[in-house]
């Protein structure tokens, strides 16, 4: 749950990002971009529309075509080409990270540092996401050290109150949270929330994100008495600022449902998740990844035989929409395996866990905590089958 939520928050922080504004600026600077539709701002905007609709594979394909077109027309290291690559790489890292993606992000960062400069704002913006990719692969100490150095550079180059620094510190807090340093993460998020509220007010976007992150780290420390009212207030704030059907509001409600689940308030959790999934199905579509995530949350609260049926349905959709090896597909496969095991359907659960473990090894490597956890669960199931 922790890594899933962190990944979603990273996607929210990424947003259209610096690369989007820079991409628009690149169009004005390059006559070739105006003359060729396939390298224009419209091509970029169309790709972002696909991303926002949850059609991630199609969006990545469109951005890949844009990068190739700009490389041919403008050159591989033209700023416009590099900024399109930044957007493509940032979206890929926000959706999921594997060793190959992390290596590509590190290579792109080196190119940005050489061409645009080590202290160029776009370079510093992308560097945050390249560092966070290391955390996603379990390289927590390395990511923590690099974030501390980057934040010092940001403060010197951009100024201590620049909004980009708040974003960098939010991501640094997520690294601490993913590494299990929950008390340190809580301290960081409390400081950030205070700073954001003073700078922009309680309704400021940075303050809303900070309040959400603080509530999550409290939840993971089982401080439910503080996390639940904070999330209730956060949902109310998001509703006032964004509206009841805005993705940030629905994301906050999903987190509130998670607190209910941890508190074993099953009826409240089920109601919250189902309500969110229903809104997302209507506003985003029944097969949008956010809708599927909310349905998965809801399914976890169901009686085991009903949960098995729901996860089988969801797995088929995930495989069709995101692909058989996507992390969310494998997460759904794992949830199905758990429900099968709870019903002593161990022979059916075995290939599911084998699939999850193989996917974790391929994406994260043998030393990542998630891989080690899936290996332990697979070995435990195999021992149990041998005893039957």
- On whether residue 39 sits in a domain, the answer given is yes
Residue 53 is predicted with a pLDDT of 65
- On whether residue 141 sits in a domain, the answer given is yes
174 and 306 in a common domain: no
Structure tokens at 347: 């022979």
Residue 38 is predicted with a pLDDT of 60
β strands within 139-215, DSSP E: none
- On whether residue 342 sits in a domain, the answer given is yes
- On whether residue 15 sits in a domain, the answer given is yes
Tracing tokens 């043998």 back to the chain, one arrives at 366
Which of these three, 178, 203, 231, is where a domain ends? 178
160 and 14 in a common domain: yes
Q: Which helix (H) or strand (E) holds 246?
A: none
Report the C-alpha gap between 319 and 326 in whole angstroms: 8
- Domains in the chain, number: 2
Residue 203 is predicted with a pLDDT of 54
- On whether residue 212 sits in a domain, the answer given is no
- On whether residue 363 sits in a domain, the answer given is yes
26 touches 83 (CB < 8 A): yes
Report the C-alpha gap between 13 and 192 in whole angstroms: 14
- On whether residue 379 sits in a domain, the answer given is yes
Report the C-alpha gap between 375 and 174 in whole angstroms: 25
Which of these three, 130, 149, 178, is where a domain ends? 178
310 and 174 in a common domain: no
In sequence order, which residues have a C-beta less than 8 Å from that of residue 165 and are 6 or more positions away?
151, 154, 155, 158, 159
For the stretch 78-106, pLDDT in tens is 999 998 999 999 888 877 777 888 999 99
- On whether residue 44 sits in a domain, the answer given is yes
156 and 14 in a common domain: yes
Select from 317, 313, 354 the least CA-distant residue to 337: 354
For the stretch 182-235, pLDDT in tens is 999 999 999 988 888 877 655 567 788 889 999 999 999 999 999 999 999 999
CATH assignment at residue 334: 1.25.40.10
CA dist 245 to 211, 258, 259, 279, 283, Å?
Answer: 19, 19, 20, 7, 8
Domain that holds residue 371: 302-388
Q: Extract the residue ranges of the chain whose pLDDT is less than 50.
A: 1-37
Structure tokens at 263: 């508190």
Residue 143 is predicted with a pLDDT of 95
Q: How many residues does the chain have?
A: 388
DSSP class of residue 365 equals -
Which of these three, 142, 157, 178, is where a domain ends? 178
Structure tokens at 119: 């202290």
Residue 176 CB-density burial (10 A; 0-12 exposed, 13-18 middle, 19+ buried): buried
| Count of CA atoms in the C-beta half-sphere (13 A) of 176 | 21
């Amino acid at each position: 749950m922790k890594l899933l939520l962190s990944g979603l928050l990273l996607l929210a922080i990424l947003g259209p990002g610096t690369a989007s504004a820079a991409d628009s600026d690149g169009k004005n600077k390059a006559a070739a971009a105006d003359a060729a539709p396939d390298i224009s701002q419209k091509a970029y905007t169309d790709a972002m529309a696909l991303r926002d609709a949850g059609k991630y594979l199609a969006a990545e394909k469109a951005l890949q075509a844009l990068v190739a077109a700009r490389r041919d027309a403008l050159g591989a290291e033209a700023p416009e080409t590099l900024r399109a690559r930044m957007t493509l790489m940032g979206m890929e890292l926000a959706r999921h990270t594997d060793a190959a993606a992390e290596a590509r992000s590190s290579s792109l960062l080196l190119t940005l540092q050489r061409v645009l400069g080590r202290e160029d704002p776009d370079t510093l913006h992308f560097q945050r996401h390249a560092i966070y990719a290391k955390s996603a692969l379990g390289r927590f100490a390395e990511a923590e050290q690099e974030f501390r150095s980057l934040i010092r550079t940001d403060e010197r180059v951009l100024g201590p109150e620049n909004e980009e620094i708040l974003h960098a510190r939010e991501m640094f807090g997520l690294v601490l949270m993913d590494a299990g340093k929950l008390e340190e993460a809580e301290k960081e998020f409390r400081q950030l929330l205070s700073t954001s509220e003073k700078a922009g007010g309680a309704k400021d976007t940075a303050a809303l994100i900070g309040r959400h992150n603080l509530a999550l780290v409290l939840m993971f420390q089982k401080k439910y008495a503080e996390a639940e009212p904070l999330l209730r207030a956060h949902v109310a704030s998001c509703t006032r600022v964004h509206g009841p059907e805005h993705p940030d509001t629905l994301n906050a409600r999903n987190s509130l449902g998670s607190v209910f689940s941890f508190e074993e308030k099953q009826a409240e959790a089920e109601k919250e998740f189902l309500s969110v999934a229903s809104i997302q199905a209507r506003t985003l579509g029944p097969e949008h990844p956010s809708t599927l995530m909310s349905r998965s949350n809801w399914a976890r609260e169901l009686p085991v035989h009903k949960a098995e049926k729901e996860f089988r349905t969801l797995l088929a959709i995930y495989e069709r929409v995101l692909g058989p090896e996507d992390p969310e597909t494998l997460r759904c496969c794992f949830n199905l395996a758990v429900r099968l095991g709870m019903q002593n359907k161990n022979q059916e659960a075995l290939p599911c866990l084998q699939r999850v473990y193989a996917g974790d090894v391929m994406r994260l490597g043998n030393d990542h905590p998630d891989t080690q956890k899936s290996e332990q669960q697979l070995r435990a199931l195999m021992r149990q089958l041998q005893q039957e």
